Structure 1
Amino acid sequence: MMKRPRTLSAAFVRTVNRPGVYGDGRGGRGLSLRVHRTLDGRITKTWRQRVRIEGRLTSIGLGPYPEVTLAEARRKALDNSRGVRLGQDPRGRGVPTFAEAAEKTIELHRQAWKAGSPLPEQWESTFRLHAAPLLAKPVDRIESADVLRSLASIWNSKPAAARKAQHRITAVFRWCIGRNYRPDNPVERAVVALPKANGHTTTHHRALPHGEVAAALRAVRGTTDTHPSAVLCVELIVLTAVRPGEARGALWDEIDMDAARWTIPASRMKAGREFAVPLSTGALDVFKRARKLEGESPLVFPSRTGGPLPPKAPLRVLKRAGVASTLHGFRSSARSWMAESGVPAEVAEACLAHVPRSQVVQAYQRSDLLTRRAEVMQAWSDYVG
């Protein structure tokens, strides 16, 4: 009779023919070899692993021997154990379907709704009627085309229902982003492809593909027949993705060079809320060069007369540099780069000082994500040079 080993060996696994369950010892992470005799007398061997998922012991199949060797079974068992420690389900059930994520999102929002509110039922109805192409798919496999199919049929015929569906589907994907099930919100790309409810397509500011921004910035720096302040102002707009008016009105009192932060007061922000701009090394260099310009104006970018730069001054810089983009278009370029670089949607929107329309989303997004925004804007500065 073959002696049962304390831990499995390749030789034992190859030669054992007595039916039973043979464990891989205390350090085997629940791995075992199950030997079974079929009705026709054949011996089959399969790998199993016992792991505790959400408090319950679960048996997971790792494949048959010899297709899966002992070394491969141990590697799979190790990967599963690591995944369980990270809260994942090695059976492939870790990523929820959209329907499951929608249910979790409703439960989360229920805390902010009044008792007896009809909103839970209304949200469920929206998902059932207008998110059918999404319901059964794992959320990490949903693409913007799936969302487009959900919204296109009602976008013009039922604009109110379409807006609610867009808002509620977005809320689900924000929950998914927060749980690290996916890095982005596919609703944003889908909506860009849809026309306005009145039949007119959306008009966007002229913007360069983000891969062309570095060359445009070099062209801007190379202009010599324009006011230096205007050139520096354009550079700052590109590097920080702020709105043109916010840059033209920048004051030295708002700049903290040591903390690498520019705090724009609420009175100059579109949303009427104070906004802290993390300054990359490129943006800090712009401010250092602006300091060397003559004059004692409190403005960072004063005009030749000492007052604020007129709105057309930075535009003239772009025209003379031969750059085919509006100033606002650089915000779109930066946003496209963020999306393609895997920056989570809520971080990207915060970089552009966009305020979530949903009061519920605002309530849960209490942080201004300054540390994460600083990382993103430094990466953008490095990218465009």
Structure 2
Amino acid sequence: MKTRVTLKNYLTLPEGFYTVAPNLVYIVRGNTRRFVFRYMLNGKRYDKAIGSVSKVDLTQAKNTAKEFLGKLAAGESLLKTKKEKLEEEYLKDDTPLFKRFADQTLEKIKDVKCWLNEKTYTNMVKYFDTYVYPVIGNKRIDEIKRMDVLAVLQPIWITKNETAQKIRTRLENILAYAVNDGYLEFNCALWKGNLDQYLPPPSKVRTVQHYTSMPFEELQEKIGLFLPTNNRTRQIIVFTILTACRVGETSGAKWSEFDFENNIWSIPPERRKDGKPYPHRVPLSRQALEVLKSIERTSEFVFAINGEEGSKYSLTTMFKRMTGTNATMHGFRSTFRDWAAENEINDSVAEKCLMHSAGNAVVQAYQRSDLLELRRPVMQAWADAVLALQPHGQLSEPV
């Protein structure tokens, strides 16, 4: 929300750039507070100093700005004295480079948007370091044009469209701040009526890559490769399959999230992909509990490696190597969904098992239950089916 500059607060506002009135900017930098009249002439931005607060108050600055606007409207030139030219150069020299402005603004966006996952921020910083800063990082923020944004996006728009779209969205966010701070007159990262005239629509170039899933019958055969569950890799792979959860949900699991009295695992909001502000409850089958009971508690993390949270990124690679297939860990969620459909599991129940929202907005508004007790027999039936080819349908031989 933009801060309104008033007679009561303009002498105490924190450091920053504030739009006071049309073309009138109030700049607070360190111990200096000054009014500047900004205007465009022949496509170029000019800054004309009005004065510091020690010489000009807010009312006088507004009146001066109106006077300057009148002169421009009448076609008069706002002639600069030598002192004014030096002042203009001083203001320009202090204009930040795009990289510095973007770094600071990404921090603001993270706080304003309330990003719950720190990786959202770190990934965006990585994207900017790789694709944006090498192209326009050393340009002044007030010099950024549409051609600069296109120079960033065009090389990756076709080959890495999903990444390019994320970058464009963040560029639009950042340049919106630049417009509000008076550096730019127009947000040149906007899509509609701007970049859409130069780049093909995402729907025409983006290829949706679905995760490779394993047919259910093959899963029944391959699951034996991970039994007994006597190491961390086997434990997390089997547990993830039996719970039909995402690897990112299981890799960060903590012992404190498990209610062994009621056989429930509560995945906290910060690991929910759907962003819901409450835990997602997973009913645990006998076999999933058996995996947990086979793990020695050496850390707060269930699947800890050297006391730290296990990595989710290497599991698919290891799974492919161990099974000799191209199936991914995430693909087992599709395998579960296909199995549920073939066994006539209620759609709403099946979707709740996958932490998906079922039905349209009206249905979701009325269906607030997580259907936990309806999901219990489904998850048990899933575990029994997955292990049906194993001796006694268990993870190991009974003692």
Q: TM (normalized to structure 1)?
A: 0.45
TM-score (norm 2): 0.43
